[in-house]
């Protein structure tokens, strides 16, 4: 299928978690032994498999977990061969030192089928089927289940294609402006990592699953795409902005919404939850809980958690990195400033606390993606 066909096919099907749950219900009418479906996403940068989406009959699902793929030789072999891996006695065949394997055994799963998934010939993760019965999977069973597995593979690839089409289109637009891209590249990487650590920390408070956390982290890189409409000399001005300049800068949010809508129209206007997350981040990342933000003056619960997360990450990054008009603040001083904004009713306290709990990690992120000191340019 063409890209637009993929996007249109599940235009209103919901999240991948929702789709896997629906497929699971269809499977068990044919094979009640299938107790779990899941998809684990591959993070090539860290060579990790990450929990992403799934459906389990008993309602329990492993979440917010990752493991290094190099530590899983049988799955690594699957990627190289493209073949299915069968395990039919999990307690005896799996290495129980891995938290994921211990979880599987604790849930009573006895058998596993693992299938590598590729998108445009690039490995993107694994589909897993589990059963509470031993010897539940073999080549004959795979043939029987293949129509369902093909649907699972399709919906996984469809969502992956949609998310990465959006990110790729936004990146290509950014790269057309060399000055803007060079100025914002490290910023995007830091924001993405700050957003992920915040989202993971507040996941239990705001009921964020791994699929949503991944989307927030990925789409955070697009939050300031509207700044392409702002002259680079204004963004790099070494002194305070005048009133008219501030108005022009603040208009970047509306410009960002226009750009994102153009991207969405270009790929077929899919009505998918991930698209809504992207729109929320671009439109609302400068809103404050007390209504003093812009451009809409939203308050409290009317501001989505995705935008609250990016607001905190964005302000923290601005404080802790060099800008033409100021030197970087230390992490403790930046956190104190954020806490003042919490007390003033502007920022989500749970999101700010998340950064405070992970100061060593955010220090490593800042060191890995440094901002050039304007005095050194």
User: At 32, which CATH number?
Assistant: 3.30.450.40
Q: Which among 129, 160, 191 is the end of a domain?
A: 160
The enclosing domain of 342 has a CATH number of 1.10.3210.10
19 domain-assigned: yes
CB 190 within 8 A of CB 366: yes
Range of the domain at 19: 3-160
How many separate domains does the chain show?
2
Same domain as 267, residue 122: no
Same domain as 78, residue 197: no
Q: Which among 112, 131, 160 is the end of a domain?
A: 160
What pLDDT shows up at residue 160? 96
Residue 42's alpha-carbon distances to 127, 315, 316, 358, in angstroms, are: 11, 30, 28, 24
CB 63 within 8 A of CB 41: no
- Splitting the chain (377 residues) into consecutive groups of 10 residues, what average pLDDT does each group show? 40 80 94 96 95 88 91 92 95 81 89 96 96 96 96 95 94 77 79 98 97 97 89 74 82 93 90 93 97 96 97 96 79 98 98 98 95 57
Q: What one-character DSSP code corresponds to residue 303?
A: S
Residue 201 contacts by C-beta under 8 Å, 6 or more apart in sequence? 350, 353, 354, 357, 358
φ, ψ at 117 (rounded to 5°)? -120, 135
What pLDDT shows up at residue 124? 97
Same domain as 188, residue 155: no
What pLDDT shows up at residue 94? 82
Neighbouring-strand partners of residue 304: none
Q: Which among 160, 194, 224 is the end of a domain?
A: 160
Q: What is the pTM of this model?
A: 0.91
249 domain-assigned: yes
170 domain-assigned: no
Same domain as 185, residue 134: no
- Helix-helix angle 305-320:273-284, to 10 degrees: 50
Please choose, from the candidates 37, 24, 34, 59, the residue with its C-alpha nearest in 3D space to the C-alpha of residue 131: 34
What pLDDT shows up at residue 5? 40
169 domain-assigned: no
3-state secondary structure of 189: helix
Tokens of 115: 């299938």
Same domain as 192, residue 91: no
What pLDDT shows up at residue 13? 64
């Amino acid at each position: 299928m063409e890209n637009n066909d993929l996007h249109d096919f599940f235009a209103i099907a919901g999240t991948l978690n929702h789709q896997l749950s629906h497929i699971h219900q269809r499977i068990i009418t044919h094979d009640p032994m299938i107790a779990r479906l899941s998809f684990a996403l591959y993070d090539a940068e860290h060579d990790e498999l990450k929990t992403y989406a799934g459906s389990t009959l008993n309602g329990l699902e492993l979440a917010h977990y990752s493991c290094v793929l190099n530590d899983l030789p049988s799955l690594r072999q699957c990627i190289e061969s493209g073949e299915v891996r069968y395990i039919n006695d999990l307690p005896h065949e799996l290495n129980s030192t891995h938290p994921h394997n211990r979880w599987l055994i604790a849930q009573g799963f006895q058998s596993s089928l693992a299938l590598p998934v590729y998108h445009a010939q690039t490995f993107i993760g694994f589909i897993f089927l589990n059963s509470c019965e031993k010897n539940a999977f073999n080549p004959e069973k795979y043939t029987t289940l293949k129509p369902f597995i093909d649907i699972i593979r399709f919906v996984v690839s469809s969502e992956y294609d949609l998310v990465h089409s959006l990110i790729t289109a936004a990146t290509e637009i950014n790269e057309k402006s060399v000055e803007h891209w060079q100025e914002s590249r490290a910023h995007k990487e830091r924001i993405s990592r700050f957003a992920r650590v915040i989202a993971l920390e507040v996941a239990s408070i705001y009921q964020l699953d791994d699929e949503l956390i991944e989307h927030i982290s990925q789409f955070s890189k697009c939050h300031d795409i509207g700044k392409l409409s702002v002259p680079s000399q204004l963004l790099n001005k070494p002194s305070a902005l005048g009133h008219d300049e501030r108005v022009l800068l603040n208009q970047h949010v509306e410009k960002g919404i226009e750009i994102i809508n153009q991207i969405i129209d270009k790929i077929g206007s899919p009505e998918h939850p991930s698209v809504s997350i992207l729109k929320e981040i671009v439109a609302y990342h400068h809103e404050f809980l007390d209504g003093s933000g812009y451009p809409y003056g939203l308050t409290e619960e009317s501001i989505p958690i995705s935008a609250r997360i990016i607001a905190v990450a964005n302000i923290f990054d601005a404080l802790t990195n060099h800008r033409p008009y100021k030197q970087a603040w230390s992490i403790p001083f930046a956190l104190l400033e954020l806490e003042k904004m919490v007390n003033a009713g502007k920022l989500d306290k749970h999101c700010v606390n998340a950064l405070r709990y992970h100061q060593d990690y955010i220090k490593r992120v800042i060191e890995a993606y440094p901002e050039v000191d304007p005095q050194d340019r």
